[in-house]
Amino acid sequence: MLKHQDNFNIKFTIRSTIDAIKWFKDKIKSAFGANPKISDTLEETEVLSEQEKEKNILDEDNDVSKFEIGKMYLFHYDPKTKVKLPYYDTFPLIIMVGLAPGGFTGINFHYLPIKMRMLLLSNLLSISILKDGELERLRISYDILKSVSTLESFKPCFKRYLYDHVRGTIKGIPPSDWGYAAALPFENFKKKSKQEVWKDSMDSLN
């Protein structure tokens, strides 16, 4: 449990996440060429220690001061309407989709089981923006998400966030770490277990 809003020194276990990372890395190679620079960090995760893996995502070098559309972030969140919500994630991992009154919208990958997260993330590569041959961000909007059939699983993940309820530091996740971050158990659901949340998400898509 995260006991302090500024404490990013959380622990996690890797176990089955390496297979998911390898799978996503292969998708990146397929999309961007045989030896894309974006895969470098994913290669390194197979030999790093747990402490080094944690540092990759939670390092202070990843601290940012604002959100930008099409990029991935990890942050603490205290929902304004949490009393009314059936459940919520206090540690969202999102790709920002757009602006909203007082805040923004995003795809929170934590609302899907890991394999579905990786599938959605790989399908999102179809709307990538490249810079110097590397993935920089996604060309994303709610209308685009609705219009692409392979992105349908975004629906239970699409959430609105208020700037005033973001707590502590914002971590900007480099594109080379997107697959890695999505495969890790950073989710911190309240009121329901992650298995119950995932079941609700999958049921809503059927």
Q: Which residues contact 109 (CB under 8 A, 6 or more apart)?
A: 93, 94, 95, 117, 120, 121, 157, 182
Which residue, 176, 167, 105, is CA-closest to 141?
105
Domain boundaries, the chain: 17-189
CA pair distance 31, 43, nearest whole angstrom: 17
Per-residue model confidence as pLDDT tens for the chain (206 residues): 233 333 333 333 334 455 666 666 666 666 655 444 444 444 444 444 445 655 677 777 889 999 999 999 999 999 999 999 999 999 999 999 999 999 999 999 999 998 899 889 988 988 989 888 778 999 999 999 999 999 999 999 999 999 999 999 999 998 878 888 888 888 999 999 999 999 999 999 98
CA pair distance 89, 74, nearest whole angstrom: 11
Q: Residue 32's pLDDT is what? A: 59
Q: Residue 27's pLDDT is what? A: 64
Question: Does residue 206 sit in helix, strand or coil?
Answer: coil
Q: Residue 21's pLDDT is what? A: 60
